[in-house]
Amino acid sequence: MKRRPTLIMAMVPFLNEHLLTPAHWQRIEALCEVPDREPLTAFAEARAPQLLAAAEILLTSWGCPVIDAQVLAQAPRLGAIVHAAGTVKQHLTAACWDRGLAVTSAAAANAVPVAEYTLGAILFANKRVFQIRQRYREVREFRWWPLEFPALGNFGKVVGIIGASFVGRKVLELLRPFAFDVRLYDPFVNAADAAAMGARKADLDDLLREADIVSVHAPALPETHHMLDRARLALMKEGATLINTARGALIDAEALEDELKSGRLYAVIDTTEPEILPPESPLYDLPNVVLTPHIAGSMGAETQRMASLAIDEIERFVHGEPLRYAIQYSDLARIA
């Protein structure tokens, strides 16, 4: 019988029970030896040296401590780091790739709920669901709603997608059944690729001028910091809706607040800069803003999709097959 490689975990402890179901554990333990089901939360823990010395596969998720050359020196048998969450930038260092480790993440699985949230936001935004709900509470009578909310409805609306990331591509896929005119801005995508995804390639400024909905799915990089600045937000037409499920740093927060306070734009915002807005922020109360606390990504049972993808990758590694979602060091310059 083939020897099973040793797997250890590093993540915040409460994820252990939410992320991994009994069915997941059955799959893991059929593939690997697991000397301790309790994840490491710090590599300075008393049990860490023994676990790291045995580790051939490291399963990580949110809250994993930084893995640098000093940590790797304690893990001479380690061959793969499998991240059951999205970005690996917060805990992996160049030393992981210098060692030749196989690295993979569940970003593709985490993209699914973000894209679902985005689709719901697009459909509700064009129908002005939240604003009409509030107005209906106030008047409590029949109104011809298109008179109060011009351009109401989804048919034929221009939807602009910024970024053909995992999330951006999934959003494009979900938009296919609807009668939208979809535009895509991504400097790494050509016109043919955009068309294959159901969109028309667009210049960023043109997209902002023409779109009824602008949805942001670009990675947070030095090059994308405040990519939607005051000048670019001013390009958006009156009554357009901005959706941000990516990172708050992609948008100039002060400029966005000014636009929203003026009432010129609508917004559905799941990510902000800072991550938690101060209590006095007007975004909590503005009638043209739907503000949620970074819930678009995997929450609750949705985390189990990430676990399933991670275990699929572990299975490929154990069987000597190529990883489907392998991450190279060079990828870090253009991914979230």
Q: What is the rounded distance in angstroms from the CA atom of residue 216 to the CA atom of residue 204? A: 11
Q: For strand 241-244 and strand 57-60, is the pairing parallel, antiparallel, or unpaired? A: unpaired
Q: Fill in the DSSP letter of residue 185.
A: E
Burial of 178 (0-12, 13-18, 19+ CB in 10 A): middle
Annotated active-site residue 275? The verdict is: yes
Q: Given the residues 223, 238, 275, 321, select the one marked as catalytic.
A: 275
SS3 331: helix
Q: How far is CA 205 from the centre of its chain?
A: 24
Give the number of other Cβ atoms within 10 Å of residue 240's Cβ. 24
- Sign, CA dihedral 83-196-182-154, equals negative
- 312 sits in the region (left: phi over 0; alpha: psi -120 to 50; else beta) called alpha
Annotated active-site residue 183? The verdict is: no
Q: How many residues does the chain have?
A: 336
Q: What is the rounded distance in angstroms from the CA atom of residue 238 to the CA atom of residue 230? A: 15
Return the amino acid letter for 98. D
Q: Fill in the DSSP letter of residue 64.
A: P
Contact indicator for 219, 335 with CB cutoff of 8 Å: yes
Q: Given the residues 83, 183, 247, 316, select the one marked as catalytic.
A: 247
SS3 307: helix
Q: Given the residues 294, 302, 315, 334, select the one marked as catalytic.
A: 294
- The secondary element (H helix, E strand) that includes residue 324 is none
**Catalytically active residues, by annotation:** 247, 275, 294
